Amino acid sequence: MAIGHVDGGPLRRRQGPPRRSPDPICFHRAEVPSRQRRLAHVPGPRGTAECPINPSYVRVGGRHERIHQVIEPSRSAIPLDRLDAVVFDTDGVLTDTASVHAAAWKRLFDKYLAQRAARRGEPFHPFEEPDYLRHVDGRTRYDGVAGFLGSRDISLPWGDPADPPDRETVCGLGNAKDRFFVAHLRDHGAQAFPTSAAFVRRLRAAGVRTAAVSASRNMVAVLEAAGLRGLFHIEVGGVEADRLGLPGKPDPALFLEAVRRLEVAPVRAAVVEDALAGVEAGRRGGFGLVVGVDRGGQAAALAERGADLVVDDLGQLAVDGGPVRPGGR
């Protein structure tokens, strides 16, 4: 993901070990012709024998290899006969705001690290894109601060959510980042990805229930600014997650809360995510399908973390699987 600027500099994107839980929905291999596949060497799922034709895995030279990128995924379809709901992450999937979050994080940490280095007479090592992708992206604000600081062996008091943004605590730094993001949202608004909004509308027209989720406490403001409020049956953002004490991604609690409210079992629901931590959360939660949205060249990493299907844009997905069902609109 190319990261923009919020009075800050550029950044880049992440990696991590694969995690598998229940096997994904079995797609028909013919949906993704072999010339459109690129493969990464990842062991096949436990249920390969039960799902012998699966475009997430193919058999090559006696081993299973996982497809990590579909170059022309317009030929792939969401199987509505096996799904009752789809849960969408917000930033980076529905709205073009992931880069704004990343730039706000860079502005925060570069300022803090420079001041700390000057105080201690140490070299300044800036916050880079791999830092964002490994330790921050998809996580709650305070977990992101703690995760990144821990990676630099920096220990700060946790503090209190009411800490002012100039206080040197985990919460204080998190609140400073939030101030940068909110200022950008106020001055520039938020843009929806038109293809994502259209895809949600196609699902609703087919009777599929939908949810928007985010670890961000600004989710409602982002959806409002992007003109997406009212498009989803359920919204679960950072404010609700904090109220319920839900842990952040890669824990699947946020997604599980969404399907609980939709009254749908995880195995009958799909998760759509652009963050590695979010894809891993979908896989850990036992969702029937995990779709990775690759906005910036991390298709392989998304597949390794558990995405069954990786696309560049939701406009590349078809909606398939039977008649329109009542009650989803």
The yes-or-no answer on residue 166 being catalytic is no
18-22, 62-66, 98-102: which has the highest mean pLDDT?
98-102
Share of the chain above pLDDT 70, in %: 74
pLDDT tens string 84-117:
999 999 999 999 987 788 888 999 999 999 999 9
Does the 29-96+191-320 domain belong in CATH 3.40.50.720?
no
pLDDT of 19 over the 50 cut: no
Catalytic residue, chosen from 7, 23, 84, 91, is 91
SS3 323: coil
Residues 6+ apart with CB under 8 A from 200: 86, 88, 94, 210, 231, 232
pLDDT value at residue 172: 97
CA distance 137 to 1: 11
- Domain range summary for the chain, segments of one domain joined by +: 29-96+191-320, 98-188
pLDDT band at 267 (very low <50, low <70, confident <90, very high): very high
CA distance 142 to 170: 6
Range from 56-65, 212-221, 253-262 carrying the lowest mean pLDDT: 56-65
pLDDT of 122 over the 60 cut: yes
pLDDT band at 130 (very low <50, low <70, confident <90, very high): confident
Over residues 255-259, mean pLDDT: 98
**Which is more confident, 32 or 197?**
197
Catalytic residue, chosen from 7, 23, 81, 89, is 89
pLDDT band at 321 (very low <50, low <70, confident <90, very high): low
Element of type H or E holding 230: none
Over residues 29-48, mean pLDDT: 30
- Distance, CA of 316 to chain centre: 18
CA nearest to 95, candidates 190, 232, 220: 190
The pair phi, psi for residue 238, each rounded to 5°, is -65, -30
Over residues 149-154, mean pLDDT: 96
pLDDT of 233 over the 90 cut: yes
pLDDT tens string 171-224:
999 999 999 989 888 888 899 999 999 999 999 999 999 999 998 989 999 999
The yes-or-no answer on residue 89 being catalytic is yes
CA distance 250 to 268: 20
pTM above 0.75, yes or no: no
